[in-house]
């Protein structure tokens, strides 16, 4: 994933957290991370490979894990769960092994 795509995911996460009236500091953290990611002059995947994500302003441990997941898989479980909640469909989805997700 490109930096702009990752930044957009974090902006959307912030918007969904805001819509459900989540912690204002968490919302700000996702927005700050999105801004910092977009401002980088280097692909974020280079930071992941070199284990340098914490050098990105606004990226703490939790957001670093989410960035790593996005870069390595192209998906983010947390984001997918938020989208499901926002759509009103809280039915557990089967995982890749056919088991119900938790």
pLDDT < 50 stretches in the chain: 96-102
CB 48 within 8 A of CB 75: no
Identify the pLDDT of residue 42. Answer: 95
CB 89 within 8 A of CB 81: no
Q: Answer whether 0.85 is exceeded by the pTM.
A: no
Class of domain 3-87 (CATH, top level): mainly alpha
Question: Cα dist. 88→70, 82, 85 in Å?
Answer: 24, 10, 5
Identify the pLDDT of residue 101. Answer: 44
**DSSP single-letter state for residue 100:** B
User: What is the SS3 assignment for 94?
Assistant: strand
**So where are the chain's domains?**
3-87
């Amino acid at each position: 994933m490109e930096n702009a795509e990752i930044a957009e995911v974090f902006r959307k996460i912030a918007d969904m957290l805001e819509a459900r009236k989540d912690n204002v500091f968490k919302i700000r953290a996702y927005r700050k991370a999105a801004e910092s990611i977009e401002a980088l002059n280097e692909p974020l995947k280079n930071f992941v490979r070199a284990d340098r994500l914490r050098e990105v302003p606004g990226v703490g441990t939790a957001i670093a894990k989410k960035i790593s997941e996005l870069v390595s898989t192209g998906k983010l479980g947390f984001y997918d769960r938020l989208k499901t909640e926002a759509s009103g469909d809280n039915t557990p989805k089967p995982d890749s092994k056919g088991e119900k997700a938790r």
